[in-house]
Chain A
Amino acid sequence: MKKKWLVHLLAVLLFGLLVACGGGEESGGDNTGSESSNENGTEETAGNGDGEQKRHAFVFKNTGNPYGEKIMEGFETAIDETGGEAILRSPDQPTVEGQIQIIEELIAQQVDSISVSANDYDGLQPVLTKAMNQGIKVLSADSAVNGDSRTVHINQADPEAIGRTLVQAVAEMMENEGQFAILSATSQASNQNLWIEWMETELESEEYADIELVEVAYGDDLRDKSVSETEALLQSYPDLKAIVAPTTVGIAAASKVITDKELQGEVLVTGLGLPSEMAEYISNGVSPWMYLWNPLDVGYLTGNAANALVEEEITGEVGETFEAGELEGEFEVTESDDGVEILLGDPFKFDPDNIDKWKDIY
């Protein structure tokens, strides 16, 4: 009996230790917007509640996503430069419910602006409308919400530019002749499908008459499935000359398969990928070059736009312009399919010349 108590005690202690670890994570990782627990944000604001500082919140899709961390890092830099306070929060799973809960809390804290990278296009409308009714400026960044739920959307790059750039890149790699395939994430991912649509539109042009898109495969952003799909593409189309993967997991998985099968130079890979994940394959020639926007800049532009809205430099009318700190040029509010948006610019090209500089950044 005594022994059993000892075991219980031990178990409790062990869990205590783990919880303590978890706590360390939260306080240590303030700027990474860690974990779902809400102590993080409330503590931060409690200390500064009486100051005149503007408080800008950013809500990303989920924690532990390096891409999201970089967006939030850029956002924080921009807010720090303007002298405001950045509150970075994300749910631990990429769900609408998690984001709604966080936004409710932010409304209660009466922040000045909320920028959100949404897990659902329409799902956040009630809570964001509530925020706007209370005078909080609402922006979406990277992954949009519908036009009625926000003032402006910060778009990394025009979907049209991405689709067309990818086709132009793959055509150049294949010297305008041969078969290529697309390896996407899930078949329902709206941004992926939009890019693929623009790729197909670009392919209709005369100059690509000798290029054939043989298949769009879906790797679901899972390593194992992306690898199986790539292997199937190679088996089914022995003459395949290129794979375009507009997704970070897919492009790395495809490159790994090509590397392992020693098909360097025979099958080329390009698309959208993280520089750190792709550094190896850009250096070994499997992927001559690839694209991505710079998430630091997405966050930085979002931070500046949030500040401009709060300071009433801009109001979200089409045609207004503002400057975004260290980013070059002026940014203009433009009309989009649904509401207004601010475009960061063309996707950024990563090739053997610059990849070493970027691989450590994100």
Chain B
Amino acid sequence: MLQQLNLEKVSKFREVGLLGFIIILVLVIQLLNPAFLTIGNLRDLLTNTAILSILALGMMLVLITRGIDLSIGATLALSGMITALTVSSVPGLNPILAILLGIVVGCFCGVMLGLLVSKIGILPIIASLGLMNVFRGLTFWTSGGEWVSAYQMPDSFKNIATSSILGINTLVFIAILTFLFFYYFVNTTITGRQIYAVGSNPDSASVSGINQTKILMLVYTMMGGLSGLAGVLWVSKYASAQGDTASGYELTVIAACILGGVSIAGGVGKVTGVLLGALLLGVLSNGLPLINVSPFWQMGIEGAIIMVAVLFNTNIREFIERNNRLRREI
């Protein structure tokens, strides 16, 4: 009971700390460039962060099960490319169908990874590394190395990213929906709780009758589906599909999760934390160009902030474990 309280307090403290950090960062940027806190810029910031936050939520589930998915950048590119090729040859296609097509392609990629991880038992980092190259290759193969450019896409497709629903940009709207769904899913549904159980202690999870294979399949398929969704949104937003779209983006997504307090060791992670993590990266990539930081420093600063977050994470963890041990000895 006490233990639980302690853990809860710490994780709450973590999120408040992250929020505090974001606020300080925002104030500093605002002092250096008053154009930062304007409606226009905040809208840009949220729109640019939407895709990252959608992917980060999926990655959180994967990380919670002690897994990792390095193939999402490639899945994103593949689904984006297939959708772009489809809408360029069938310009009349309903945008909602285009989104669904992307999700289906993504789910297919996710199922393949899920099979490799859950049924065959290949380490997630190896399996996803292999599939990353397979999907990248497929992207080049489907496009024949060509890009799909703005003039080849119908306006209805490009409008997915620029239109708004209820006054909110569609990308942000979809990100909010995803967030609400995940918040409900991991906190209240049985399956959602089982994901945490599998991650924090796989042995006791299987003893208590949780079907691990099913949970892993589900997690990787969801991740794939979200990457597919992100692929359509990405291509619609930038109005261009290339073979190397979002290459290396998986690391940004993982960074957002880690900043948000998700543990690579599994079992730990909160939806609100991940959202804050994605937001922090969004503020950095929007704000650093505004305050004229040299390009040589930009990456360094982002890296340093991630390192600080990870150090903080491990220290807290060690502190809790030491406390727990002490209590046991008494």
Contact = CB atoms under 8 A, between A and B. Distances in A.
Interface of A: 4, 7-8, 10-11, 14, 18, 21-22, 24-25, 29, 32, 34-35, 63-66, 69, 186-187, 215, 217-218, 220, 223-225, 227-229, 231-233, 235-236, 238, 252-253, 256, 260, 274, 276-277, 279-281, 283, 359
Nearest to A19: B134
A235 B35 contact: yes
A228 B48 contact: yes
A217 B238 CA distance: 19
Nearest to A359: B151
Contacts of A225: 285
Contacts of A359: 149, 151
11 contacts: A4-B119, A63-B145, A64-B243, A66-B147, A217-B289, A224-B48, A236-B35, A252-B149, A274-B149, A279-B149, A280-B239
Contact of A276 (B112, B115, B119, B147): B147
Interface in B141-171: 141, 143-147, 149-152, 162
Interface stretch (B14-22, B36-44, B192-200): B36-44
Contacts of B146: 66, 69
A115 B295 CA distance: 34
Nearest to B112: A14
Nearest to A231: B44
B151 to A, nearest CB: 4
A280 B141 contact: no
A50 B239 CA distance: 49
A143 B141 CA distance: 26
A280 B285 CA distance: 27
Contacts of A228: 44, 48, 285-286, 289
B91 interface: no
A229 B289 contact: yes
Contact of A22 (B38, B141, B292): B141
The majority secondary structure among interface residues of chain B is helix
B202 interface: no
B296 A187 contact: yes
Nearest to B140: A64
A223 B240 contact: yes
A334 B115 CA distance: 60
Contacts of B119: 4, 7, 11
Contacts of A65: 145
Interface string B183-227: 000000000000000000000000000000000000000000000
A22 B137 contact: yes
Nearest to A256: B239
B184 to A, nearest CB: 29
Contacts of A274: 147, 149
Interface string B98-142: 000000000000001001100110000000000000100110110
A13 to B, nearest CB: 12
B76 to A, nearest CB: 12
Contact of B149 (A18, A260, A277): A277
Contact of A279 (B150, B245, B289): B150
A29 B145 CA distance: 10
A187 B295 CA distance: 7
Contacts of A280: 149-151, 239
Contacts of A238: 35
B145 A227 contact: no
A7 B217 CA distance: 14
A7 B120 contact: yes
B41 A279 contact: no
Given A22-B137, A29-B144, A238-B35, 10 more contacts: A14-B112, A32-B144, A34-B145, A64-B244, A215-B292, A228-B285, A236-B33, A256-B239, A260-B162, A279-B151
A252 B150 contact: yes
A64 B112 contact: no
Nearest to B152: A276
Contact of A218 (B134, B238, B295): B295
Given A32-B144, A229-B289, A235-B35, A21 B138 contact: yes
B96 to A, nearest CB: 21
Nearest to B116: A11
Contact of B151 (A34, A63, A218, A283): A283
